[in-house]
Amino acid sequence: MTTSVRIPLMAANWKMHLSIAEGVAFIAKLHELLGNPQDREVLIAPPFTHLWPLREPMAAAGFSLAAQNCHWETQGAFTGEVSLTMIAETGCRYVIVGHSERRHIFGESDAWIGRKTAAALSRGVVPIVCIGEKIEEREAGLTEEVLRRQLTAGLEGLRVDTPEKLVIAYEPVWAIGTGRTATPGQAQDAHAFVRGWLAQRFDKAVANGIRILYGGSVKPDNVDDLMAQPDIDGALVGGASLQADSFARIVQYKKSGKSP
């Protein structure tokens, strides 16, 4: 199995930005700019309040819808939380789990991330499991140790028998919203480590098919070099995904010899 079977996944994480009206206009503009790309998947993760209103425009444009977070329980007394069952009802195919902002601002533990990942898999929603090191961990040479710990906790005891059921996003914390980006080589090294870990944890064929995204100040001017790396299968984009023109250029990255 080669990288040619991994359809690139270009994901926009809007975080706590854009109104519903702005979101509808964004989707219309992005669709106008992109048409219906056949060789890559376009995903948008808007705020929870936007999921239902954007469901039909997203489907009409051929884009995939994702939630930015979830709770692992099906229902219960969890004020302010949203279950995977509720998320699935909105038409979401994906859910982002363990984003660095959830880990480091809201204090979500590796164990919590694991429970959310398990819940998503059990309910047929594809988890995009985010992992990544802080700057002091990278400078101390602990990047692989941190990634190993997060992967082990996030996927412990879980069965992934087909690669379409799981996405991993490597997002170095020091590169998120800072303007700093991992070099293509740094990003590739981390992605190769993750794929090797997946091959040991699951199956080599499955690991070769799982898409691993890069997130961390992805922009139109660096996406081409990032996407040229053999183990980078897409991007999880924050600030540069809030303007349709900017995100469209990221989606339309120049292949630089890498065939999706």
List residues with catalytic annotation: 99, 171
**Which whole-number Å values give the CA distances from 169 to 28, 50, 231, in the listed order?**
27, 23, 12
Q: Which residues fall within 8 angstroms of residue 46, CB to CB, at 6 or more apart?
A: 14, 18, 23, 54, 65, 68
CA dihedral (219, 224, 229, 230) in degrees, to 10, reads: 120
Q: Assign 3-class secondary structure to 78-137.
A: CCCCCEHHHHHHCCCCEEEECCHHHHHCCCCCHHHHHHHHHHHHHCCCEEEEEECCCHHH
Dihedral, 22, 58, 175, 178 alpha carbons, nearest 10: 0
